[in-house]
Amino acid sequence: MDADLPYEESTDLSYGELAAQTFTVCVDSRETFLLSGPCPRCKGIFEAAIVGGIFEGSRSVASSGVGQPGQAIDRIEPMVCSCRHLHPGVPDAGFGCGAYWNVILSVDVS
């Protein structure tokens, strides 16, 4: 891990490709996905939860679910490095090294 890498909001197509190769995906009984692996830029290990619904004030909590059996769903998920290292230049209340990318989470319920 390159902890001294300065914070910089940057993206690259290779980030998504690297993440697809190195990240592991776990799903729990509530159909929440946990992606964990090294950041393609700073190599810091972090995890990202892909959830169907989230509490927002008093609004109802909804879940998008994972679809019907036999149906494959491709979800484009935005990712940002949220490693715990304090990179130089990270803004207040910010986190990670600033790298961001997209991955496609393909779920086939069979």
Partner 1 sequence: MTIRLKAGPAGTPATLTAAVERERLLRSELPRVRSAAIAWRNALGALLAGLLGFGLVKGRSDIGQVAEPWAIIIGILLLVSLVCGTSGAFLIVRAAHGRPFVASIDGLMSRRLSDHHEALDAARALRWGVGFTLACAAVLVGAVAVMWYAPAAQPPTLLVTSPESGAVCGKVGRIDRNSLIIRSLGGEVAVTLSEVIGLQPMDSCPTR
C-alpha span between 110 and 68 (Å, rounded): 8
Please, what is the minimum distance in Å from the beta carbon of residue 1 to partner 1?
19
Q: Is 68 helix (H, G, I), strand (E, B) or coil?
A: coil
Please, what is the minimum distance in Å from the beta carbon of residue 58 to partner 1?
7
Residues forming the site for partner 1 (CB under 8 A): 9, 11-13, 15-17, 19-20, 23, 25-28, 30, 32-36, 47-49, 51, 53-58, 60-61, 66, 74, 76-80, 82, 95, 100-110
* Helical (H) or strand (E) element with 18: helix 13-22
Name the residue nearer to partner 1 (CB basis): 3 or 36.
Answer: 36
Name the residue nearer to partner 1 (CB basis): 11 or 38.
Answer: 11
11: which residues sit within 8 A by CB, 6+ positions away? Answer: 99, 100, 101
